[in-house]
Amino acid sequence: MIAIDGETIIIEDEQQGKRQVPIGSPEGFRILSKLWLRSGWDAKYVYSFTWLGRPIIQLPDDMLRFQELVYRLKPDVIVEIGIAHGGSLIYSASLCQLIGKGRVIGVDIEIRPHNRKAIEEHPLSSRITMFEGNSIGSEIIEQVRARISPGETVLVCLDGCHTREHVLAELEAYSSIVSVGSYILAMDGIMQDVVGAPRTEPDWEFNNPQQAAKEFVAAHDDFILEEPVFPFNEGEITERVTYWPNCFVKRIR
């Protein structure tokens, strides 16, 4: 049981008994953040945002971290698996516009006509190329490769099908196009932490992007799981509030 009494979180369980945690402590923040993330999942909080006119189904905390990574890497190409309404493509394209370089490649198994039309008519569409098809199909992989020139800095985001098997296959397929020092993001690993909530499945405890990322780096010594060091923190909190735990798969050579 968890209760809040003024500035204190009161926790009771069979193993540790009753204890009190200050709300303003890092542990208090972690406890409340975990509850907030679960509440937000149940209430579909991430389905309430747009970016420059297009729905973006992402946690704002994650997108703020993502922009800092893009600013640091200054990629020539951002490959995004999963398009949906196109908000993430527009977000990445706007970051490219701000840093004065870069383009975005989007891939989805199905691009609905009204979404394609809205993306193609957007003011940032000149920075976006879209391919429709299976992200791990050889034809799509080759089409993506053909859009990337030797020596370009490439960042990859995996936000399509989130099963362990599919994400692992995507990591294998796209790892060779990621530049040294850049990342593949295995997104939505929160699946592991919300089992039992609405719109979840029991096998999400192991069938999720976190598991795929861990297995991939265990089998590839040129990749590691590494949280980027973000350049500003004057507070006591060191853990991200995120839908993407253990997502940053970094190529080191």
Cβ contact 190:242 at 8 Å: yes
Distance in angstroms (rounded) separating the CA atoms of residues 78 and 154: 6
Q: Which pLDDT score is estimated for 18?
A: 86
- The answer to whether 74 touches 151, Cβ cutoff 8 Å, is no
Q: Quote the CA–CA distance of 140 and 129 in Å, as a whole number.
A: 12
Beta partners for 251? Answer: 223
pLDDT tens, position by position, 230-243: 999 999 999 999 99
Check residue 166 and give its pLDDT: 98
Average pLDDT, the chain: 97
Q: What are the sequence ranges of the domains in the chain?
A: 2-43, 49-251
| Per-residue pLDDT at 13 | 82
- Classified by CATH at the fold level, domain 49-251 comes out as Rossmann fold (3.40.50)
Residue 186 near residue 247, CB atoms below 8 Å? yes
3-state secondary structure of 185: strand
Q: Which two tokens stand for residue 29?
A: 């923040």
In tens, the pLDDT along 131-147 reads: 999 999 999 999 999 99
Residues of the chain with pLDDT under 50: none
pTM score: 0.95
Q: What is the pLDDT of residue 64?
A: 97
Give CA separation, 18 vs 1, 2, 11, in Å: 9, 10, 6
pLDDT at 170: 98
Report angle CA 142, 144, 148 to the nearest 5 degrees.
110
Q: What is the pLDDT of residues 168-186, one digit of tens each?
A: 999 999 999 999 999 999 9
Query: Phi and psi at residue 20, in whole multiples of 5°?
Result: -120, 135
Q: How far is CA 160 from CA 39, 77, 88, in A?
A: 23, 18, 12
